[in-house]
Amino acid sequence: MASLSGLTDQQAKEFHEQFKVTYTAFVGLAALAHLFVIAANPWW
């Protein structure tokens, strides 16, 4: 049965693996940026 998006289970799982990697990198960079701001100019 075709999915709503047209992706197969295998394609969805494969894409999700890359999505998790990229999203983790994004969160890591954002955390680093926040640490720099905390070091330079804490907001509390």
Give the interface with another protein as residue ranges (CB under 8 A). Answer: 3-7, 9, 11-13, 15-16, 19, 40-41, 43
Q: By the 8 A CB rule, do 15 and 7 touch? A: yes
Minimum distance from residue 33 beta carbon to another protein (Å): 11
Spell out where 1-44 has E strands: none
Minimum distance from residue 1 beta carbon to another protein (Å): 10
Indicate the residue among 6 and 31 with the shorter CB distance to another protein: 6
Residue type, 18: Q
Q: Is the dihedral of CA 37, 42, 25, 9 positive or negative?
A: negative
Minimum distance from residue 15 beta carbon to another protein (Å): 5
